[in-house]
Chains A and B, each alone.
Chain A
Amino acid sequence: DAGVIQSPRHEVTEMGQEVTLRCKPISGHNSLFWYRQTMMRGLELLIYFNNNVPIDDSGMPEDRFSAKMPNASFSTLKIQPSEPRDSAVYFCASSPGHSNTEAFFGQGTRLTVV
């Protein structure tokens, strides 16, 4: 398996523009997580899905952020409109779920909003 695949790896966008980050979890994994990493706040969980259903979105910063998981092999994180303070590395992770709790992370998307 190629692991968790995220795209794009890097994104530079202007303030006010819409940004969409994409994630393909490991096949067969039941849980998917979106994290944001910054120097100031470390690794923050934004939202996680189990069997494509959002379970906890309490970490989503505000209404400008939205996440979807239309099927077991694809998820998106959208920011609209983007702001400079959204600049961070966004990670997607997946885990088998049930009794196996190991989370496998993708390589991340480095987002810069100018």
Chain B
Amino acid sequence: QQQVKQSPQSLIVQKGGISIINCAYENTAFDYFPWYQQFPGKGPALLIAIRPDVSEKKEGRFTISFNKSAKQFSLHIMDSQPGDSATYFCAAMGGGNEKLTFGTGTRLTIIP
């Protein structure tokens, strides 16, 4: 059962553009929604996270938008740079345990 659906599977954006990755969840017990960034040969690393008491969180060029009623959240990368090329995973946690359920990942490529 896939509890967190992520799209698109891959994304190509020009340098300076906006990259947008979307996720949807099913379990209403989820109360923590992080995004992880993974470079080739490395483990995922936390990029930014949000809890459902706010609709948006911004850290530098990275913004999470959260829609609790629609059970959707998205990552926006402003002014995308070649160094942002990586695989991005959304995830969700909640229901009284520490299990992170990951989306299937988005391979982002920023082209000059």
Q: Give residues in A with beta carbon < 8 Å to B.
A: 4, 31, 33, 42-43, 45, 48, 50, 55-56, 91, 93, 95, 97, 101-108
How many B residues are at the interface, by size bracket?
20 to 34
* Cα–Cα, bound, A47→B71 (Å): 26
Contact call B105/A43, Cβ cutoff below 8 A: yes
Give the distance to chain B from A32, nearest Cβ to Cβ, in Å.
Answer: 10
Q: Give residues in B with beta carbon < 8 Å to A.
A: 32, 34, 41-46, 49, 89, 93, 97-105
Contact call B46/A102, Cβ cutoff below 8 A: yes
Contact call B32/A101, Cβ cutoff below 8 A: yes
The answer, among A42, A93, A104, A108, for a CB contact under 8 Å with B104, is A42
For the complex with contacts A4-B43, A45-B99, 14 further pairs of A-B residues with Cβ separation under 8 Å are A43-B89, A43-B105, A45-B100, A45-B101, A50-B98, A55-B97, A93-B43, A95-B98, A97-B98, A101-B93, A102-B34, A102-B49, A107-B43, A108-B43
A-B contact count (CB 8 A): 49
Contact call B98/A91, Cβ cutoff below 8 A: no
Contact call A101/B43, Cβ cutoff below 8 A: no
Residue in B43, B46, B99 whose Cβ sees the most chain A Cβ within 10 Å: B43
Contact call A31/B98, Cβ cutoff below 8 A: yes
Contacts of B101 in A (CB 8 A): 45
List, sorted by A's number, 13 A–B pairs whose CB atoms are closer than 8 Å: A42-B102, A42-B105, A43-B44, A43-B105, A45-B100, A45-B101, A91-B43, A101-B34, A101-B49, A101-B93, A102-B46, A106-B43, A108-B42
